[in-house]
Amino acid sequence: MTAPAAIPMAADTQRYLLLGRLGYWGLWLLIPLWQIWLSPVSYGDDQALKPSLLSTLLLLWLPLWLPMWGIIKGHAYTFAWANFIVMLYFLHSLTNLWVSTGSYFWFSLLELLLACLMFYGCTYYARNRGKELGLKIPKLKDDPVRRN
């Protein structure tokens, strides 16, 4: 069996890999910069309800650490399931776009653009690279386990 790295990658697949990685690394850098330095969220004066910066950062940044190794290595399977993680950033950015103003609005817009870039790149990279490697999900009609 041929090693996945030995199988050549088409130009389109390389472009999708680049787009997925740009979106991923953009989000990976944006979240801590935004939440710590550029425009930290203000929770008001009530200290009892105020979450810590660490908990906010963990909720927003920790999920991006999960697919890092597979994104670096270019594993098609990781790119496919990373799309589930990017949905968190779609929801976060769309919610903030609805309720925010000023710099928070613009950082939310940037987050949405990076999430879209990551989603698009990851989706098509996983599909194209999976085809190149011969990985596929069998069609239901071809499943030998399925009984009619």
pLDDT at 36: 85
pLDDT of residue 142: 67
Mean pLDDT of 51-74: 91
Question: Taking all residues of the chain, what is their mean pLDDT, rounded to a whole number?
Answer: 88
pLDDT tens digit string along 12-31? 999 999 999 999 999 999 99
Extents of the domains making up the chain: 13-37+53-133
- What pLDDT score was predicted for residue 6? 79
Indicate the pTM of the whole model.
Answer: 0.85
* Per-position DSSP letters for the chain, written without gaps between them: ---GGGS---HHHHHHHHHHHHHHHHHHHHHHIIIIIIS-----S-TTS---HHHHHHHHHHHHHTTHHHHHHT-HHHHHHHHHHHHHHHHHHHHHHHH--HHHHHHHHHHHHHHHHHHHHHHHHHHHHHHHHT--PPPGGG-TT---
pLDDT of residue 67: 98
